[in-house]
Structure 1
Amino acid sequence: MRLAFISDIHGNATALEAVMKDLKEKAVDKVFVLGDLCYRGPEPKRSLELVQSLNCQVIKGNADEWVVRGVEEGEVPEQALDMMRKEREWTYSQLNEADIDYLQNLPTEIKTTISDLDIHAFHATPDSLFEVVVPFADDETIQEKLMGREANLYLYGHIHTPYIRFINGKAVVNLGSIGLPFDGSSQASYSLVDIQDRSIQASIVRVDYDIDEVIEKLQSSDYPNKEFLVNVWKNGRP
Protein backbone atom coordinates (compact mmCIF):
# COMPACT_ATOMS: atom_id res chain seq x y z
CA MET A 1 0.00 0.00 0.00
CA ARG A 2 1.43 3.36 -1.05
CA LEU A 3 0.22 6.43 0.84
CA ALA A 4 0.91 10.12 0.27
CA PHE A 5 0.59 12.81 2.92
CA ILE A 6 0.53 16.42 1.74
CA SER A 7 -0.04 19.72 3.53
CA ASP A 8 0.58 23.45 3.66
CA ILE A 9 -0.50 24.24 0.11
CA HIS A 10 -1.12 27.89 0.97
CA GLY A 11 -2.99 28.87 -2.17
CA ASN A 12 -0.20 27.67 -4.48
CA ALA A 13 -2.30 25.72 -6.97
CA THR A 14 0.55 25.43 -9.48
CA ALA A 15 2.72 23.60 -6.93
CA LEU A 16 -0.22 21.40 -5.95
CA GLU A 17 -0.87 20.44 -9.58
CA ALA A 18 2.77 19.40 -9.97
CA VAL A 19 2.53 17.23 -6.85
CA MET A 20 -0.75 15.67 -7.99
CA LYS A 21 0.95 14.72 -11.28
CA ASP A 22 3.80 13.18 -9.28
CA LEU A 23 1.32 11.19 -7.16
CA LYS A 24 -0.18 9.66 -10.32
CA GLU A 25 3.26 8.79 -11.69
CA LYS A 26 4.16 7.11 -8.39
CA ALA A 27 0.89 5.11 -8.37
CA VAL A 28 -0.20 6.32 -4.93
CA ASP A 29 -3.14 4.35 -3.49
CA LYS A 30 -4.41 6.87 -0.93
CA VAL A 31 -3.82 10.56 -0.27
CA PHE A 32 -4.25 12.46 2.99
CA VAL A 33 -4.20 16.26 3.29
CA LEU A 34 -3.09 17.78 6.60
CA GLY A 35 -4.32 21.35 6.35
CA ASP A 36 -3.43 24.92 5.38
CA LEU A 37 -5.12 24.87 2.00
CA CYS A 38 -5.84 28.46 0.91
CA TYR A 39 -4.27 31.22 2.97
CA ARG A 40 -1.12 33.06 1.79
CA GLY A 41 -1.05 32.34 -1.93
CA PRO A 42 -2.41 33.69 -5.22
CA GLU A 43 -5.03 30.99 -5.95
CA PRO A 44 -6.97 30.04 -2.80
CA LYS A 45 -10.13 29.04 -4.66
CA ARG A 46 -8.40 26.82 -7.22
CA SER A 47 -6.23 25.25 -4.52
CA LEU A 48 -9.32 24.32 -2.54
CA GLU A 49 -11.01 22.87 -5.62
CA LEU A 50 -7.94 20.75 -6.42
CA VAL A 51 -7.87 19.41 -2.86
CA GLN A 52 -11.56 18.55 -3.07
CA SER A 53 -10.99 16.77 -6.40
CA LEU A 54 -8.70 14.29 -4.63
CA ASN A 55 -11.74 12.84 -2.79
CA CYS A 56 -9.61 12.05 0.22
CA GLN A 57 -9.45 12.71 3.95
CA VAL A 58 -8.63 16.36 4.69
CA ILE A 59 -8.03 18.00 8.06
CA LYS A 60 -7.86 21.61 9.22
CA GLY A 61 -4.71 23.66 9.72
CA ASN A 62 -4.18 26.90 11.59
CA ALA A 63 -4.34 28.90 8.34
CA ASP A 64 -7.72 27.35 7.52
CA GLU A 65 -8.90 28.43 10.95
CA TRP A 66 -7.62 31.94 10.24
CA VAL A 67 -9.55 32.11 6.97
CA VAL A 68 -12.73 31.19 8.84
CA ARG A 69 -12.46 33.51 11.86
CA GLY A 70 -9.48 35.85 11.35
CA VAL A 71 -5.99 36.18 12.83
CA GLU A 72 -6.04 36.94 16.55
CA GLU A 73 -3.53 38.82 18.69
CA GLY A 74 -0.89 36.56 20.19
CA GLU A 75 -1.05 34.05 17.35
CA VAL A 76 1.59 35.79 15.22
CA PRO A 77 4.36 38.32 15.95
CA GLU A 78 2.89 41.75 16.72
CA GLN A 79 4.77 43.40 13.86
CA ALA A 80 3.24 40.94 11.37
CA LEU A 81 -0.35 41.07 12.64
CA ASP A 82 -1.68 43.89 10.47
CA MET A 83 -0.28 42.47 7.22
CA MET A 84 -1.40 38.93 8.00
CA ARG A 85 -4.91 40.20 8.67
CA LYS A 86 -4.86 41.93 5.28
CA GLU A 87 -3.75 38.67 3.67
CA ARG A 88 -6.53 36.83 5.43
CA GLU A 89 -9.13 39.35 4.25
CA TRP A 90 -7.89 39.02 0.67
CA THR A 91 -8.06 35.21 0.86
CA TYR A 92 -11.54 35.33 2.38
CA SER A 93 -12.72 37.58 -0.45
CA GLN A 94 -11.71 34.96 -3.04
CA LEU A 95 -13.92 32.25 -1.50
CA ASN A 96 -17.67 31.77 -1.28
CA GLU A 97 -19.88 30.74 1.62
CA ALA A 98 -19.69 27.04 0.74
CA ASP A 99 -15.89 27.21 0.74
CA ILE A 100 -15.84 28.83 4.18
CA ASP A 101 -18.29 26.23 5.53
CA TYR A 102 -16.05 23.48 4.14
CA LEU A 103 -12.98 24.88 5.92
CA GLN A 104 -14.88 25.50 9.14
CA ASN A 105 -16.15 21.92 9.35
CA LEU A 106 -12.90 20.11 8.62
CA PRO A 107 -11.82 17.65 11.34
CA THR A 108 -8.52 18.18 13.15
CA GLU A 109 -6.93 14.73 13.04
CA ILE A 110 -6.82 11.47 11.13
CA LYS A 111 -6.68 8.11 12.89
CA THR A 112 -6.55 5.12 10.60
CA THR A 113 -5.21 1.55 10.55
CA ILE A 114 -3.61 0.10 7.42
CA SER A 115 -2.12 -3.39 7.30
CA ASP A 116 -2.44 -3.58 11.10
CA LEU A 117 -0.36 -0.42 11.50
CA ASP A 118 -1.91 2.52 13.33
CA ILE A 119 -1.44 5.98 11.81
CA HIS A 120 -2.07 9.29 13.57
CA ALA A 121 -1.96 12.46 11.46
CA PHE A 122 -2.61 16.08 12.48
CA HIS A 123 -1.58 19.57 11.44
CA ALA A 124 0.62 20.89 14.27
CA THR A 125 0.08 18.67 17.33
CA PRO A 126 -2.84 16.43 18.33
CA ASP A 127 -4.05 19.12 20.72
CA SER A 128 -3.29 22.34 18.84
CA LEU A 129 -3.44 23.81 15.35
CA PHE A 130 -0.80 26.39 16.30
CA GLU A 131 1.91 24.83 18.48
CA VAL A 132 5.35 24.52 16.87
CA VAL A 133 7.43 21.34 17.27
CA VAL A 134 10.75 21.77 15.48
CA PRO A 135 12.86 19.03 13.81
CA PHE A 136 15.69 19.37 16.35
CA ALA A 137 13.47 19.03 19.44
CA ASP A 138 14.71 16.35 21.83
CA ASP A 139 13.11 12.91 21.91
CA GLU A 140 11.21 13.67 25.11
CA THR A 141 9.57 16.74 23.58
CA ILE A 142 8.65 14.86 20.40
CA GLN A 143 7.11 12.08 22.47
CA GLU A 144 5.20 14.48 24.75
CA LYS A 145 3.90 16.82 22.04
CA LEU A 146 3.35 14.49 19.07
CA MET A 147 3.20 10.87 20.25
CA GLY A 148 0.63 10.97 23.05
CA ARG A 149 -1.82 8.67 21.26
CA GLU A 150 -0.84 5.08 20.52
CA ALA A 151 0.28 4.64 16.90
CA ASN A 152 3.09 3.26 14.75
CA LEU A 153 3.39 6.29 12.49
CA TYR A 154 2.86 9.98 13.29
CA LEU A 155 2.66 12.67 10.60
CA TYR A 156 2.22 16.43 10.73
CA GLY A 157 2.76 19.65 8.76
CA HIS A 158 2.71 23.27 10.01
CA ILE A 159 6.47 23.96 10.32
CA HIS A 160 7.19 23.77 6.55
CA THR A 161 10.41 21.89 7.31
CA PRO A 162 10.40 18.17 6.40
CA TYR A 163 12.13 15.52 8.46
CA ILE A 164 11.84 11.86 9.48
CA ARG A 165 12.78 10.50 12.90
CA PHE A 166 12.41 7.13 14.58
CA ILE A 167 11.83 7.04 18.33
CA ASN A 168 11.37 3.74 20.16
CA GLY A 169 10.68 1.98 16.87
CA LYS A 170 7.98 4.45 15.81
CA ALA A 171 8.22 6.90 12.91
CA VAL A 172 7.59 10.65 13.15
CA VAL A 173 7.34 12.49 9.84
CA ASN A 174 6.96 16.13 8.96
CA LEU A 175 5.76 16.60 5.41
CA GLY A 176 7.26 20.00 4.71
CA SER A 177 5.11 22.26 2.54
CA ILE A 178 3.62 22.01 -0.93
CA GLY A 179 3.34 25.73 -1.55
CA LEU A 180 5.59 27.59 0.91
CA PRO A 181 8.68 25.59 1.99
CA PHE A 182 10.91 27.00 4.73
CA ASP A 183 13.89 24.60 4.57
CA GLY A 184 16.00 26.30 1.93
CA SER A 185 14.60 24.41 -1.06
CA SER A 186 12.15 26.00 -3.46
CA GLN A 187 10.68 22.62 -4.42
CA ALA A 188 7.31 21.42 -3.16
CA SER A 189 7.58 18.81 -0.41
CA TYR A 190 5.41 15.89 0.69
CA SER A 191 5.80 12.46 2.30
CA LEU A 192 5.43 9.08 0.64
CA VAL A 193 4.78 6.08 2.90
CA ASP A 194 4.99 2.49 1.66
CA ILE A 195 3.48 -0.19 3.89
CA GLN A 196 4.04 -3.89 3.24
CA ASP A 197 3.77 -6.79 5.69
CA ARG A 198 3.72 -4.40 8.69
CA SER A 199 6.88 -2.76 7.39
CA ILE A 200 6.98 1.04 6.96
CA GLN A 201 9.19 2.91 4.54
CA ALA A 202 8.76 6.68 4.77
CA SER A 203 10.42 9.20 2.48
CA ILE A 204 10.36 12.91 1.71
CA VAL A 205 9.65 13.72 -1.94
CA ARG A 206 10.62 17.03 -3.56
CA VAL A 207 8.86 18.18 -6.72
CA ASP A 208 9.82 20.96 -9.12
CA TYR A 209 7.13 23.35 -10.32
CA ASP A 210 7.02 26.53 -12.37
CA ILE A 211 7.74 29.23 -9.80
CA ASP A 212 7.80 31.95 -12.45
CA GLU A 213 4.21 31.05 -13.35
CA VAL A 214 3.12 31.45 -9.74
CA ILE A 215 4.95 34.76 -9.41
CA GLU A 216 3.23 36.01 -12.57
CA LYS A 217 -0.17 35.09 -11.14
CA LEU A 218 0.68 36.84 -7.90
CA GLN A 219 1.92 40.01 -9.58
CA SER A 220 -1.21 40.27 -11.72
CA SER A 221 -3.38 40.16 -8.58
CA ASP A 222 -3.95 42.73 -5.84
CA TYR A 223 -2.55 40.45 -3.14
CA PRO A 224 -1.28 42.62 -0.24
CA ASN A 225 2.08 40.94 0.63
CA LYS A 226 3.73 40.08 -2.69
CA GLU A 227 7.38 40.64 -1.76
CA PHE A 228 7.23 38.16 1.12
CA LEU A 229 5.77 35.37 -1.01
CA VAL A 230 8.17 35.89 -3.92
CA ASN A 231 11.12 35.73 -1.53
CA VAL A 232 9.94 32.46 0.03
CA TRP A 233 9.19 30.81 -3.31
CA LYS A 234 12.60 31.72 -4.71
CA ASN A 235 14.72 31.01 -1.62
CA GLY A 236 12.73 28.45 0.34
CA ARG A 237 12.91 30.61 3.45
CA PRO A 238 10.77 33.36 5.01
Structure 2
Amino acid sequence: MRTAIISDIHGNIDALQAVLLDIKNRGIQNIYNLGDSLYGPLFPIETYKLLVKENIQNIRGNCDRILLDPNSNNPTVQYVQNLLEEEHKEWISNLPFSLQTEDFYFCHGTPTNDESYLLEEMSSNGSTLKKTEDILKLVNGISQNIIFCAHTHIPRVVYLPNNKIVINPGSVGLPAYEDTLPIYHKMESGSPYANYTIVTKRKDNWMIEQILIPYSREAAIIQSEKNGRSDWVKALQTGRI
Protein backbone atom coordinates (compact mmCIF):
# COMPACT_ATOMS: atom_id res chain seq x y z
CA MET A 1 0.00 0.00 0.00
CA ARG A 2 1.40 3.35 -1.07
CA THR A 3 0.33 6.72 0.31
CA ALA A 4 0.70 10.16 -1.28
CA ILE A 5 1.05 13.28 0.83
CA ILE A 6 0.45 16.74 -0.59
CA SER A 7 0.42 20.17 1.04
CA ASP A 8 0.48 23.94 0.59
CA ILE A 9 -1.47 24.09 -2.66
CA HIS A 10 -2.29 27.77 -2.11
CA GLY A 11 -4.96 27.92 -4.79
CA ASN A 12 -2.66 26.73 -7.57
CA ILE A 13 -5.12 24.55 -9.47
CA ASP A 14 -2.74 23.74 -12.34
CA ALA A 15 -0.08 22.43 -9.96
CA LEU A 16 -2.67 20.38 -8.09
CA GLN A 17 -4.03 18.87 -11.30
CA ALA A 18 -0.53 17.85 -12.39
CA VAL A 19 0.23 16.26 -9.01
CA LEU A 20 -3.08 14.37 -8.83
CA LEU A 21 -2.60 13.08 -12.37
CA ASP A 22 0.83 11.76 -11.45
CA ILE A 23 -0.58 10.12 -8.32
CA LYS A 24 -3.37 8.52 -10.36
CA ASN A 25 -0.92 7.25 -12.98
CA ARG A 26 1.04 5.53 -10.21
CA GLY A 27 -2.11 3.77 -9.02
CA ILE A 28 -2.10 5.44 -5.59
CA GLN A 29 -5.49 5.86 -3.94
CA ASN A 30 -4.56 7.04 -0.42
CA ILE A 31 -3.97 10.81 -0.46
CA TYR A 32 -3.53 13.15 2.50
CA ASN A 33 -3.38 16.94 2.26
CA LEU A 34 -1.61 18.86 5.04
CA GLY A 35 -3.39 22.16 4.51
CA ASP A 36 -2.99 25.73 3.25
CA SER A 37 -5.13 24.78 0.30
CA LEU A 38 -7.00 27.89 -0.85
CA TYR A 39 -5.05 30.98 0.30
CA GLY A 40 -3.30 32.85 -2.48
CA PRO A 41 -3.89 35.30 -5.35
CA LEU A 42 -4.77 32.44 -7.69
CA PHE A 43 -7.75 30.10 -8.07
CA PRO A 44 -9.19 29.16 -4.66
CA ILE A 45 -12.66 28.06 -5.77
CA GLU A 46 -11.37 25.85 -8.57
CA THR A 47 -8.94 24.30 -6.12
CA TYR A 48 -11.71 23.68 -3.61
CA LYS A 49 -13.87 21.95 -6.22
CA LEU A 50 -11.08 19.59 -7.20
CA LEU A 51 -10.20 18.74 -3.60
CA VAL A 52 -13.78 17.81 -2.69
CA LYS A 53 -14.19 15.84 -5.92
CA GLU A 54 -11.21 13.61 -5.19
CA ASN A 55 -10.88 11.09 -2.36
CA ILE A 56 -8.48 13.19 -0.27
CA GLN A 57 -8.18 13.44 3.51
CA ASN A 58 -7.59 17.14 4.31
CA ILE A 59 -6.41 18.95 7.42
CA ARG A 60 -6.36 22.68 8.18
CA GLY A 61 -3.31 24.91 7.82
CA ASN A 62 -2.73 28.35 9.30
CA CYS A 63 -3.56 29.98 5.97
CA ASP A 64 -6.85 28.10 5.84
CA ARG A 65 -7.69 29.32 9.32
CA ILE A 66 -7.00 33.00 8.56
CA LEU A 67 -9.47 32.91 5.66
CA LEU A 68 -12.21 32.78 8.29
CA ASP A 69 -10.95 35.93 10.04
CA PRO A 70 -13.45 38.72 9.25
CA ASN A 71 -11.05 41.38 10.55
CA SER A 72 -8.09 40.59 8.31
CA ASN A 73 -6.66 43.53 6.34
CA ASN A 74 -4.39 41.31 4.23
CA PRO A 75 -5.23 42.04 0.56
CA THR A 76 -4.70 38.42 -0.50
CA VAL A 77 -6.89 37.16 2.33
CA GLN A 78 -9.56 39.65 1.29
CA TYR A 79 -9.25 38.55 -2.36
CA VAL A 80 -10.01 34.95 -1.38
CA GLN A 81 -12.69 35.92 1.14
CA ASN A 82 -14.57 37.83 -1.55
CA LEU A 83 -14.80 34.60 -3.55
CA LEU A 84 -15.84 32.33 -0.70
CA GLU A 85 -19.45 31.32 -0.22
CA GLU A 86 -20.95 29.58 2.82
CA GLU A 87 -20.22 26.17 1.34
CA HIS A 88 -16.51 26.95 1.16
CA LYS A 89 -16.40 28.53 4.62
CA GLU A 90 -18.13 25.52 6.15
CA TRP A 91 -15.63 23.17 4.49
CA ILE A 92 -12.71 25.17 5.90
CA SER A 93 -14.21 25.39 9.38
CA ASN A 94 -14.74 21.61 9.47
CA LEU A 95 -11.16 20.74 8.55
CA PRO A 96 -9.42 18.95 11.45
CA PHE A 97 -6.23 20.31 12.99
CA SER A 98 -4.51 16.92 12.60
CA LEU A 99 -5.17 13.33 11.51
CA GLN A 100 -3.86 10.00 12.73
CA THR A 101 -3.72 6.47 11.37
CA GLU A 102 -2.03 3.40 12.75
CA ASP A 103 1.23 4.32 11.02
CA PHE A 104 1.00 8.06 10.34
CA TYR A 105 0.50 11.34 12.16
CA PHE A 106 -0.38 14.38 10.03
CA CYS A 107 -0.13 18.05 11.06
CA HIS A 108 0.52 21.32 9.27
CA GLY A 109 3.09 22.99 11.51
CA THR A 110 3.77 21.15 14.78
CA PRO A 111 1.44 18.85 16.72
CA THR A 112 0.35 21.84 18.81
CA ASN A 113 0.74 24.93 16.58
CA ASP A 114 -0.11 25.42 12.90
CA GLU A 115 2.13 28.51 12.62
CA SER A 116 5.37 26.99 13.98
CA TYR A 117 8.01 25.10 12.04
CA LEU A 118 8.61 21.56 13.24
CA LEU A 119 12.01 20.97 11.63
CA GLU A 120 13.51 24.39 10.94
CA GLU A 121 14.52 27.32 13.09
CA MET A 122 15.09 30.88 11.95
CA SER A 123 18.04 33.11 12.76
CA SER A 124 19.84 36.04 11.18
CA ASN A 125 21.69 33.43 9.11
CA GLY A 126 18.47 32.05 7.66
CA SER A 127 16.85 28.64 8.00
CA THR A 128 18.70 25.80 9.71
CA LEU A 129 17.67 22.34 10.87
CA LYS A 130 16.62 22.26 14.52
CA LYS A 131 18.62 20.26 17.03
CA THR A 132 17.48 16.68 17.40
CA GLU A 133 16.48 17.17 21.02
CA ASP A 134 14.28 20.15 20.08
CA ILE A 135 12.44 18.13 17.44
CA LEU A 136 12.01 15.25 19.88
CA LYS A 137 10.34 17.59 22.36
CA LEU A 138 7.87 18.77 19.73
CA VAL A 139 6.82 15.23 18.77
CA ASN A 140 6.81 13.88 22.32
CA GLY A 141 3.68 11.82 22.87
CA ILE A 142 3.15 11.00 19.19
CA SER A 143 2.91 7.20 18.99
CA GLN A 144 3.16 6.88 15.20
CA ASN A 145 6.61 6.30 13.71
CA ILE A 146 5.96 8.41 10.60
CA ILE A 147 5.13 12.06 11.25
CA PHE A 148 4.21 14.42 8.42
CA CYS A 149 4.44 18.20 8.68
CA ALA A 150 4.33 21.05 6.18
CA HIS A 151 4.22 24.87 6.41
CA THR A 152 7.82 25.57 5.29
CA HIS A 153 7.23 24.57 1.64
CA ILE A 154 10.64 22.85 1.71
CA PRO A 155 10.82 19.07 1.18
CA ARG A 156 12.75 17.40 4.00
CA VAL A 157 13.17 14.03 5.71
CA VAL A 158 14.57 13.81 9.25
CA TYR A 159 15.35 10.57 11.06
CA LEU A 160 15.17 10.64 14.86
CA PRO A 161 17.06 8.41 17.33
CA ASN A 162 13.77 6.92 18.60
CA ASN A 163 13.25 5.43 15.10
CA LYS A 164 10.63 7.99 14.15
CA ILE A 165 10.80 9.76 10.79
CA VAL A 166 9.54 13.30 10.18
CA ILE A 167 8.68 14.13 6.58
CA ASN A 168 7.81 17.44 4.94
CA PRO A 169 6.44 16.94 1.39
CA GLY A 170 7.14 20.51 0.33
CA SER A 171 4.60 22.63 -1.53
CA VAL A 172 2.37 21.73 -4.43
CA GLY A 173 1.63 25.30 -5.43
CA LEU A 174 4.11 27.82 -4.00
CA PRO A 175 7.81 26.87 -4.07
CA ALA A 176 9.12 29.96 -2.25
CA TYR A 177 7.90 32.72 0.06
CA GLU A 178 9.09 35.31 2.57
CA ASP A 179 7.79 35.97 6.07
CA THR A 180 8.48 38.41 8.89
CA LEU A 181 7.85 36.05 11.83
CA PRO A 182 9.55 35.11 14.07
CA ILE A 183 12.10 37.23 12.17
CA TYR A 184 12.33 38.13 8.51
CA HIS A 185 13.28 35.07 6.47
CA LYS A 186 12.94 33.47 3.06
CA MET A 187 11.96 29.87 2.33
CA GLU A 188 13.12 28.85 -1.14
CA SER A 189 12.92 25.37 -2.65
CA GLY A 190 15.04 26.48 -5.59
CA SER A 191 12.75 24.80 -8.15
CA PRO A 192 9.47 25.92 -9.73
CA TYR A 193 8.17 22.34 -9.84
CA ALA A 194 5.26 21.07 -7.74
CA ASN A 195 6.35 18.88 -4.82
CA TYR A 196 4.74 15.95 -3.04
CA THR A 197 5.75 12.75 -1.24
CA ILE A 198 5.04 9.04 -1.62
CA VAL A 199 5.66 6.56 1.21
CA THR A 200 5.61 2.79 0.80
CA LYS A 201 6.09 0.16 3.48
CA ARG A 202 8.28 -2.78 2.47
CA LYS A 203 8.55 -5.33 5.23
CA ASP A 204 9.80 -3.29 8.20
CA ASN A 205 11.18 -0.37 6.19
CA TRP A 206 9.59 2.76 4.78
CA MET A 207 10.52 3.80 1.25
CA ILE A 208 10.25 7.58 0.90
CA GLU A 209 10.06 9.33 -2.47
CA GLN A 210 10.16 13.10 -2.79
CA ILE A 211 8.55 13.87 -6.15
CA LEU A 212 8.95 16.99 -8.30
CA ILE A 213 6.38 17.53 -11.05
CA PRO A 214 6.65 20.07 -13.89
CA TYR A 215 3.44 21.80 -14.92
CA SER A 216 2.22 24.77 -16.95
CA ARG A 217 2.62 27.83 -14.71
CA GLU A 218 1.47 30.50 -17.15
CA ALA A 219 -2.07 30.92 -15.78
CA ALA A 220 -0.86 31.16 -12.17
CA ILE A 221 1.79 33.72 -13.11
CA ILE A 222 -0.70 35.86 -15.04
CA GLN A 223 -3.16 35.72 -12.13
CA SER A 224 -0.42 36.69 -9.66
CA GLU A 225 0.49 39.67 -11.83
CA LYS A 226 -3.16 40.66 -12.07
CA ASN A 227 -3.41 40.68 -8.27
CA GLY A 228 -0.22 42.67 -7.79
CA ARG A 229 1.86 39.85 -6.31
CA SER A 230 5.25 40.15 -7.99
CA ASP A 231 6.74 37.99 -5.22
CA TRP A 232 4.47 35.12 -6.27
CA VAL A 233 5.43 35.68 -9.91
CA LYS A 234 9.12 35.19 -9.16
CA ALA A 235 8.46 32.26 -6.84
CA LEU A 236 6.38 30.49 -9.47
CA GLN A 237 8.94 31.21 -12.16
CA THR A 238 12.10 30.27 -10.28
CA GLY A 239 11.41 28.69 -6.88
CA ARG A 240 13.10 31.69 -5.28
CA ILE A 241 12.13 35.07 -3.80
Normalised by the size of structure 2, how large is the TM-score? 0.86
> Could you tell me the percent identity over the aligned residues?
29
After the TM superposition, list the runs of 4 or more consecutive aligned residues in structure 1 that deviate by more than 2 angstroms: 196-199, 216-219
What do residues 127-174 of structure 1 show as CA deviations (whole Å, max 9, x unaligned)? 011012316111111111235411110001100011111112221101
Find the aligned partners of 1:229 and 1:92 in 2 and give their Cα distance: 19
DSSP 3-state at the match of 1:157: coil
1:126 alignment partner, one of 111, 117, 120: 111
Change (3 A) 1:234 1:148: farther
8 Å contact from structure 1 (residues 147, 154) kept in 2:
no
Deviation of 1:52 (Å): 1.1
1:143 alignment partner, one of 136, 141, 144: 136
Q: What residue is the counterpart of 1:45 in the other structure?
A: 45
1:108 alignment partner, one of 97, 112, 133: 97
Task: Say whether 1:158 aligns with 2:161.
Answer: no
2:88 alignment partner, one of 89, 99, 103: 99
The total of aligned residue pairs comes to 220
Q: What residue is the counterpart of 2:123 in the other structure?
A: none
Change (3 A) 1:210 1:147: farther
Normalised by the size of structure 1, how large is the TM-score? 0.87
RMSD of aligned alpha carbons: 1.6
The gaps in structure 2 that reach 5 residues or longer are 121-127, 177-188
1:188 alignment partner, one of 172, 194, 201: 194
Find the aligned partners of 1:227 and 1:146 in 2 and give their Cα distance: 37
Find the aligned partners of 2:140 and 2:43 in 1 and give their Cα distance: 34
Find the aligned partners of 2:46 and 2:201 in 1 and give their Cα distance: 32
DSSP 3-state at the match of 1:215: helix
Bigger proportion of residues as helix: 1
8 Å contact from structure 1 (residues 12, 214) kept in 2:
yes
8 Å contact from structure 2 (residues 224, 230) kept in 1:
no
Amino acid corresponding to residue 154 of structure 1 in structure 2 = I
